[in-house]
Structure 1
Amino acid sequence: MIDIHCHILNGIDDGPKTLEDSLQMAKQAVEQGFTDIIATPHHLKGQFSNPGDAVKRQVEHFNERLAKENIALTVHPGQEVRIHGEMLEGLANGSVLTLAGTKYILIEFPTESIPLFTQELFFNLQMKGYTPIIAHPERNLEVMRHLDPLYELVEAGALAQLTFGSFEGRVSKKVKKLSEQLIDTNLVHFIATDAHLYKGRSMDVQQAVRKLQKEKGENRADYMFQNAKLVLNDQVIETLEPVELKKKFFLF
């Protein structure tokens, strides 16, 4: 498997504090069946600023350590970029990274809302050849209230990434229910760990994988796993037609 959203790099955001913690995560990832991870430290979220060059250097050093430890895992550079109006400028000067040097970019919304400029920004990104991937929309309060804004973004060409823990019910029953709805309405295209440590928010996903295969079918699970591979290889993802629901989902 390939993980497109993971905070495996130590000491730079709210992920692992030490290199040993990162190595523990890497070992756990291999045990769970991961071969590749795209490291996505927070960028421009609160106190966390991890410009592209710094992330690339740390990924290079971490891969060297993985080789020395004989850990069969490859880590690729990326970011979980907090949405902001100057994203195109950041991509141009290298401070903002795409996922593993591809056309795909992982974008995080504020927890409370989807900013009003999102549609325009996504359109401009797409016009420049980039494909926005929305990080964990199931944890966004505006999406929790109603699916229309997410539907409109996906219908216009954006993609979205669900988190294993949300689907498994580790966040809350409401987030679990919404995660299932997002799969059923074709509004999410990937499932990723968003792991921050080797305990708690970890790489331990096999139970969630089995749950996904059993409840949503092996074809849907394979589709989401295969899409992660397509991202890593910078290939086109064939999306399923999103389903527009007129009913509002007031989860509070």
Structure 2
Amino acid sequence: MIDLHCHMLPFVDDGANTIIEALEMGIEAKREGINKILLTPHYMDGEYVNHKKDIVPAVKNLQRIFIDNGIDIELRAGQEIHINGELINQIENDDILYPDKNTKRYIMFEFPHGGIPKYSNDIIFELKLRGITPIIVHPERNMGFQKKPSMLYDLVSQGCLTQITATSFTGGFGKRIQKFTDEIVEANLGFVFSSDAHNLKGRRFMMDEAFSRLENKYGSSVVNEYKRNSELIWNGDNVSIGDIDRIKNKKRFSDFLRNIF
């Protein structure tokens, strides 16, 4: 099993705080059946920077520590890339890390939680011109998509992929986000599960539980498709979008606000 979104690299963001915590997370990941992890510290999100030149050696060091401690998981250097006006320059300056490493076909792409910036289509257009497919991380937790899910349909129809957080699907972020996650899956607007794990308390891996629920609700073929998509991304191969649908529920956002306030 491949996890394409994980904050296990210590000392760089709001994920693991120590090497010991990273090792404990590695043991938990292995227990869930995960054997490859893309480490994705926050990049240019207004709080954390995490340049490529700093992340690559840090991941190599953690890999050596994993090997020394008998944790058989392949680690790869990545970033959770927050959309920003300098992204194209950051790509040209070789400051970006890709989940598929050297083929550079994909990036893990984050929007602000509160909505979708107006310039997003321009950035995505520039990425597509360069042969780069944005993988939109945790769209189910984005208030812009919750308010207007047709925006997610539009971005996927333009060639973007999505990464659903396992904990969202299992209900860890609340019933309303779980419901929206189900709707994304049912509309074929979801492509992979990842953990977005930060620790072993509130932000755990939950991958095994998520895939169990996915199989119970939608069958083993969907499970196989999601796992296969992760492999395709990891290897830099093409992921087929297939037939997608619009999400029709119009009451979701007001329900979400009532759940908060």
Give TM-score scaled by structure 2 length: 0.93
Q: 1:169 to 1:200 in 2, by over 3 A?
A: same
**Which residue number corresponds to residue 64 of structure 1?**
64
Contact 1:146 1:249 in 2 (8 A): no
Mapped contact 1:53–1:94 kept (Cα < 8 A): no
In structure 2, the residue matched to 1:24 is 24
Task: List gaps (5 residues or longer) in structure 2.
Answer: 255-261
Between the aligned partners of 2:26 and 2:91, the Cα distance in structure 1 is 28
**1:15 CA displacement:** 0.1
Matched, 1:116 2:92: no
Secondary structure in structure 1 of the residue aligned to 2:3: strand
Q: Deviations over 1:149-196 (max 9, x none)?
A: 111110000001101100101101110000000001111111110000
Q: Please, which runs of 5 or more residues in structure 1 have no aligned partner?
A: none
| 1:208 positional shift | 2.0
Over 3 Å counting, the alpha-carbon distance change for 1:179 and 1:204 in structure 2 is closer
Match of 2:234 in 1: 232
CA contact (8 A) 1:144 1:251 kept: yes
Task: Please give the alpha-carbon distance, in whole angstroms, between the structure 2 residues aligned to 1:126 and 1:112.
Answer: 24
* Letter matched to residue 20 of structure 2: E
| Comparing 98-107 and 42-51, the one that deviates more | 98-107
Mapped to 2, the partners of 1:57 and 1:197 lie a distance apart of: 22
Match of 1:165 among 147, 167, 172: 167
Task: Let me know the Cα RMSD of the aligned residues.
Answer: 1.2
Deviations 1:112-157 (A, max 9, x none): 1111111111111011010100010000101111211111110000
Counterparts of 1:123-134 in structure 2, within 5 Å, are 123-134=125-136
Structure 2 residue aligned with 1:37: 37
Which 4+ residue blocks in structure 1 deviate beyond 6 angstroms? none
Change in CA separation of 1:61 and 1:174 when aligned onto 2, cut-off 3 Å = same
Q: Distance in 2 between matches of 1:156 and 1:4?
A: 22
Q: Which amino acid aligns with 1:22?
A: A
Q: State the Cα distance separating 1:109 from its structure 2 match.
A: 0.6
1:21-44 Cα deviation digits (max 9, x unpaired): 001111111110011000000011
**Contact in 2 for aligned 1:189/1:224 (Cα 8 Å):** yes
User: AA paired with 2:45?
Assistant: K
Determine if the alignment matches structure 1 residue 195 to structure 2 residue 214: no
The number of residues matched between the two structures is: 252
Conserved? CA contact 2:193–2:207, under 8 Å:
no
Cα distance in 2, alignment partners of residues 246 and 19 from structure 1: 45
Query: How much has 1:248 moved relative to structure 2?
Result: 2.7
